A and B are shown apart, each in its own frame.
Chain A
Amino acid sequence: MAEQKIVLRTEGICKSFNGVQVLKDVDLEVLSGEVHALMGENGAGKSTIIKIITGVYVKESGQIYIEEQPVEIWSRQDARGNGISVIYQELSLVPELSVTENIFLGQEIMGRFLPDRKEMRKRVQALIDRYEFKINPDAIVATMGMATRQMVEILKALSIDAKIIIMDEPTSALSTAETEKLFSTIDTLRAKGVSILYISHRLEEIYRLADRLTVMRDGINVGVLDHDEITPERVTTLMIGREVRKNEKTHLREPNKDHVLSVKHLKYRDLLSDINMDAYGGEILGIGGLVGSGRTELIKCIYGALKQSGGEITLDGKPVNKVIAKNIVGGMGLVPEDRRTEGFFPVLNIAENLTVASYDLLAKTGIISAKNEKQFAADAIRDYDIRPTTSTVPVGNLSGGNQQKVVLGRWLSRKPKVLLLDEPTAGVDVGVKAELYRLMEDLAEQGAIIIMVSSDLEELVNVSDRILIVHKGRFFKEYLYENASQNEILLASSGVDTGKGRLL
């Protein structure tokens, strides 16, 4: 490989939010013509450092260098001016316009009176030829697939002489074939000397693409690996660090095999195939795997919120209904992944949010009993320690943790037989997390079936009695509480078999 210059370098970048330091002296170095991967668990600081480089956040201290010249980046415009481009997950193209129009949107080359279309088209064609993309400059973006649209985004970045292109989870919206297309595009760019900073949590992608890899943990750069050093074991060890199991469970619950939710040969579109599992009363069953691996769809199929394409789901031997309202009456509940869009009702107050799924209990005569309703809400506010304690405050005004307590409390007050949880503690602070875990464990003690989907490895390992890992639309591994570790789960999520755990 030819001699490589340093394109981007950061030195001692620090950043804190509300007094919590999220980046500590981060040094990062990207060479010309390399694909540099950035990995780390959720909250490790990957996106914060990216946002500082691209001018979304302002750093507190440290220095950014472009080609060894110190630069000041205060805004997105500054970042662009310094040759830093980002390909966003939600693409920023105008679907109704052509490739050429999109690339020159807002920076049209003017003729005497009107934009000089011929000139712009010529330049786009030259760019396409240079990077050997298979794109027609006149094609309308709306007619293209996601991978091709990403190529247009990349062209747009190249048209303003980007020195470094940042891609944040670029494959999350792509099919397998499209992913391969993106990879070959990246290969071409690398060959032409363009640097790429590639963020992903998929090990196989990193291994396929990266020349070097920087791993972050808790706001620190914990290590840089060369391509040959990238092995799943090394990466996960760096990401997780020395593993300490917190609050070790003192006693393990015995699952009640008579109360069982059984899933057989479940299929959902092309996302899930041949899913088989039994979840027992009195246990918290954790479901791990990468985001987008079909975990959310699995529990939504069980709940009746999505129509499965095949297979059967039974509760204590009886088929589970396909209608949510009937499942709720039958003792089911779901805490969805995104509480703001699917969980709570922002303009409705705490009492209304808590009672919304329980009118079958509160209005036995068809008329809601004000007394029972008040009692129901007051009990929930007390039992789940919801703040503020005034039941008439709109839930939109509560903190994230209290909103989640309301969404969870809505089900707990019904004493559910089956509780499905999707990322139950996302965006919740540590104190509230512990409270939520206690509520879940209490419910398990009472004999309910609890299924918890989570991307938080620590939570998965410490809270679940048993863990199933989804990989490529199927269950890949099963771990019991005793033999689960964050390392193991991270590896299994990427399809690496270490020999531990039970292969499914």
Chain B
Amino acid sequence: MNAEKGKFLKAAGSIWGQRVTILVAVIVVMAIVQPRFFSSGNMLSILLAIAFYGVIASGMLFVVLIGGIDLAVGSEAALGGTIFTMYVLAHDMSAGTFFTAFLLAILVAILVGLLHGFFDAYLGMPSFVVTLATQYALYGLTQYITKMNYLPVLNASGLFYQLGNGKLFGIPSPVIWFVILAVIAAFVLKKTPYGRRIYAVGGNPHAAELVGVSSKFHKMTAYIICAVTASIAGMLLVSMNMVSSYKMAAGYEGPVLMALVIGAVNLMGGEGSMGGVFFGALLVGIINNMLILIGIDTDYKEFVQGCIIILAVAINVYTSRKSQGLVDQKRRRMPWLNRPKRGAPDG
């Protein structure tokens, strides 16, 4: 028993050991290359960037764990933020209006999640295609309802203002939202039957059905959770910037997926933890910031981001295949490996 515990701690220690080492290394490099990195203003902007990606990643984790993907998170954030803003603009800055607007945006997110879940779980459509399509549809819808305009909120005050700009012990509200959502996600996934069943559905949907776990239910709810967190991120964004635009979270799916992949979430489903995603979001935030600080132009920045995604996915796929012991599967998929060797013993 003791040996087992020791081994386990060693394994857990080593993965976090690696992660901390990487973080420290990146920060040290930053400190040497660009001392401005440690300015309080820069720290704050890193934290905020991480917070927005992180809020969405906490929900996206559920979708990726059940073996899906949600590419529409940027448009879900835009739609949620826009509905929230329009409702507030049409009424007032009272707390009552704020809560109604907030719930309205969440409700729309639930509908979007239901739609995604239906297409995946009931029609068996690949989530990649479904959410790519809804991404366009939702951007279009957001443009349509805003008549393609930016919606500035000139008289922002009260809860609407506090949502994105408030601070608790000096920590900006979006960061607190991220921490709270991450803790809830980690708790649900680790400690509740629902969370464990999410892993089961992603790990093997047929086997899950045979132990009484409905893959349809868990897929539907995972997409809903993801859309809701994206919508929350959108509302945080409009509140902080005091302006809503359909482009405000465009391209967010990239860094969010990068955070998941760097956090060792298996894109085939069934494997990954909130702790890993937390680390991934941290690293993505710092790297993005680094690329800005070094002052390279935007085109090149995207090139580097792209390379990092490819590298992270390659490592992710390689390690997950190794952990599944899929050597045989590889042979099945690549039949030419089975060709008998010439010169084998012959009489």
Interface residues of A (CB under 8 A from B): 55-63, 72, 74-75, 303, 305, 323-328, 334, 336, 341-348, 352, 355-357, 359, 363, 366-368, 370, 378, 389-392, 394, 396-397, 410
- Alpha-carbon distance A368/B194, docked complex (angstroms): 10
Known contacts: A61-B347, A62-B347, A363-B192. The answer to whether A345 contacts B342 by CB under 8 A is no
Neighbouring B residues of A61 by C-beta, 8 Å: 345-347
- In the complex, what's the smallest C-beta–C-beta distance from A368 to chain B, in angstroms? 5
Closest to A367 in B: B191
Please provide the 3 A-B residue pairs with the shortest distance between their CB atoms, ordered closest to farther.
A325-B212, A345-B203, A359-B193
Q: Told that A346-B326, A356-B196 touch, could you supply 6 new A-B pairs with CB distance under 8 A?
A: A63-B347, A324-B210, A344-B207, A347-B270, A356-B200, A357-B212
Q: Which residues of chain B in 163-179 are interfacial with respect to chain A, using CB atoms and an 8 Å cutoff?
A: none
Contact string against A for B residues 252-292, beta-carbon threshold 8 Å, 1 for contact and 0 otherwise: 00000000000000100011000000000000000000000
Find the A residue at minimum CB distance from B320.
A347
Which chain A residue shows the least CB distance to B322? A397
The stretch of B4-12, B16-24, B110-118, B293-301 in contact with A is B4-12
Residues of A within 8 A of B338 (CB): 56
The residues of B that contact A347 with a CB separation of less than 8 Å are 203, 266, 270-271, 320, 323-324
> Nearest Cβ in chain B — how far from A414, in angstroms?
11
Are A342 and B206 in contact, CB atoms less than 8 angstroms apart?
Answer: yes
Report if A345-B207 is in contact (Cβ < 8 Å); known contacts: A366-B192, A390-B4, A396-B326. Answer: yes
Name 27 interchain pairs, CB-CB below 8 A, sorted by A.
Answer: A59-B346, A74-B340, A305-B209, A323-B212, A324-B209, A327-B212, A328-B211, A343-B207, A343-B210, A344-B204, A346-B324, A346-B326, A347-B270, A347-B323, A348-B270, A352-B200, A357-B212, A359-B197, A363-B193, A366-B193, A368-B192, A394-B323, A394-B324, A396-B325, A397-B324, A397-B325, A410-B211
Return the chain A residue nearest B204 by Cβ.
Answer: A345
B210 contacts which of A336, A359, A366, A396 (Cβ < 8 Å)?
A336
Across the interface, do A368 and B212 meet the contact criterion of CB distance under 8 Å? no
When chains A and B are docked, how far (Å) is the Cα of A344 from the Cα of B211?
A: 10
What residues of B have a CB within 8 angstroms of the CB of A62 in the complex?
A: 347
Q: Does B339 contact A (CB under 8 A)?
A: yes
A74-B340, A394-B323 known; A341+B212 contact, CB < 8 A: no
- Whether a CB of chain A sits under 8 angstroms from the CB of B147 is no
Instruction: Tell me whether B344 is interfacial, beta carbon within 8 Å.
Output: yes
In the bound complex, do residue A341 and residue B206 qualify as a contact, i.e. CB atoms below 8 Å apart? yes
Interface residue? B52 (CB, 8 A): no
| Bound CA span A326–B338, Å | 45
Chain A residues in 8 Å Cβ range of B347: 61-63
Would A60 and B345 be within 8 Å (CB), given that A343-B207, A347-B270, A394-B325 are in contact? yes
Which residues of the partner chain A approach B153 to less than 8 Å between Cβ atoms?
A: none
Interface hub of B7, B204, B341, B346 (most chain A Cβ within 10 A): B204
Residues of A within 8 A of B266 (CB): 347
Is there an interface contact between B324 and A57, defined as CB atoms closer than 8 Å?
Answer: no
A382 to B271, CA, bound (A): 26
Residues on B with C-beta less than 8 A from A60 are: 344-345
Give Cα A327–Cα B209 distance, bound, in whole angstroms.
13
Inter-chain contacts of B190 with A (CB < 8 A): 368
Total residues of chain B contacting the partner, CB 8 A: 41
Q: Which residues of A lie under 8 Å from residue B200 when comparing CB positions?
A: 345, 348, 352, 356
Contacts A344-B204, A352-B199: A325 and B213 contacting too (C-beta < 8 A)?
A: yes
Q: Which residue of A lies closest to B341 (CB)?
A: A58
B211 close to A356 (CB less than 8 A): yes
For the complex, give the distance between the alpha carbons of A55 and B342 in Å: 11
A61-B347, A63-B347, A359-B193 known; A392-B326 Cβ under 8 A: no
Q: Report B-chain residues with C-beta under 8 Å of the C-beta of A391.
A: 4
Give the chain A neighbours of B324 by CB distance below 8 A: 346-347, 394, 396-397
Smallest Cβ-Cβ distance to B193: which chain A residue: A359
- The interface residues of chain A lying within 8 Å CB-to-CB of B207 are 336, 341-345
**A74-B342 in contact given A363-B192, A390-B8 (Cβ < 8 Å):** yes
CA distance in complex: A448, B42 (Å): 67
Residue of A nearest to B195 (CB): A368
> Which residues on the A side are within 8 Å of B345 (C-beta)?
60-61
Q: What residues on B are CB-neighbors of A327 within 8 Å? A: 212
Choice from A323, A343, A345, A389 contacting B270 with Cβ under 8 Å: A345
Q: A352-B196, A390-B8 known; A58 and B344 CB under 8 Å?
A: yes
Pairwise interchain contact A57-B206, C-beta atoms closer than 8 A: no
Q: Which residues of B contact A334 (CB under 8 A)?
A: 210
Contact status B203-A392, CB under 8 Å: no
Contact of A55 among B4, B210, B340 (CB under 8 A): B340
In angstroms, Cα B347 to Cα A378, docked, is 51
In the complex, A401 Cα to B135 Cα: how many Å?
A: 46
Known: A352-B196, A359-B196, A363-B193. A346 touches B325 (CB 8 A): yes
B8 x A392 contact (CB < 8 A): yes
**Most chain A C-beta atoms within 10 Å of own C-beta, residue among B192, B210, B344, B347:** B210
Closest B residue, CB atoms, query A77:
B339
Contact between A348 and B203, CB atoms less than 8 A apart: yes
In the bound assembly, the distance between CA atoms of A454 and B344 in angstroms comes to 37
Contact yes or no, A305 B210, CB < 8 A: yes
Q: Report the bound CA distance from A347 to B203 in whole Å.
A: 6
Bound state CA distance, A74 and B199, in angstroms? 44
Cβ contacts under 8 Å, A63 to chain B:
347
Residue from B191, B211, B213, B347 having most chain A Cβ neighbours under 10 A: B211
Q: Looking at the assembled complex, report how far the CB atom of B264 sits from the nearest CB atom of chain A, in whole angstroms.
A: 12
The reply to whether A324 and B340 form a contact with Cβ atoms under 8 Å apart is: no
Which of chain A's residues have a CB closer than 8 A to the CB of B213?
A: 325, 356
Q: Are B204 and A58 in contact (CB under 8 A)?
A: no
Q: How far is the CA of A303 from the CA of B346 in the complex (A)?
A: 51
Q: How far is the CB of A351 from chain B (nearest CB, A)?
A: 11
Q: How far is the CB of B23 from chain A (nearest CB, A)?
A: 24
CB B325 to nearest CB in A, in angstroms, measures: 4
Complex Cα distance, B5 from A389, in Å, reads: 11
Given known pairs A345-B200, A347-B320, A352-B199, the reply for A368 and B325 (CB within 8 Å) is no
Closest to B345 in A: A60
CB contact between B191 and one of A325, A336, A348, A368 (< 8 Å): that residue: A368
